[in-house]
């Protein structure tokens, strides 16, 4: 069987693969020293997630739901 490593290096897999999806680009992106990784800390991200969970107010009833 072919391994994941072999698949990722196979020319058929790499053909037309966007540069940002290559292993080298992914390794660079996910380094925590890299400022493009995330400018937000965990608390800020969790606050955004919690705000996103709140359903918006509906200004008019929706057939049987309001």
- Do the domain assignments include residue 62? no
CA separation for the pair 42, 39 (Å, rounded): 10
In the chain (66 residues long), the average pLDDT of successive 10-residue segments reads 87 82 74 62 86 80 63
Query: How many residues make up the chain in this entry?
Result: 66
Check residue 14 and give its pLDDT.
82
- Do the domain assignments include residue 61? no
37 contacts 29 by C-beta, under 8 angstroms: yes
pTM of the model: 0.34
- Do the domain assignments include residue 58? no
- Do the domain assignments include residue 24? yes
- Do the domain assignments include residue 27? yes
- In 1-66, DSSP assigns E strands to none
Q: How many domains does the chain have?
A: 1
- Do the domain assignments include residue 19? yes
């Amino acid at each position: 069987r072919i391994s994941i490593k072999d698949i990722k290096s196979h020319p058929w897999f790499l053909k037309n693969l966007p540069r940002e999806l290559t292993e080298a680009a992914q390794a660079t992106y996910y380094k925590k020293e890299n400022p493009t990784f995330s400018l937000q800390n965990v608390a800020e991200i969790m606050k955004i997630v919690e705000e996103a969970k709140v359903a918006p107010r509906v200004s008019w009833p929706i057939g049987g739901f309001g």
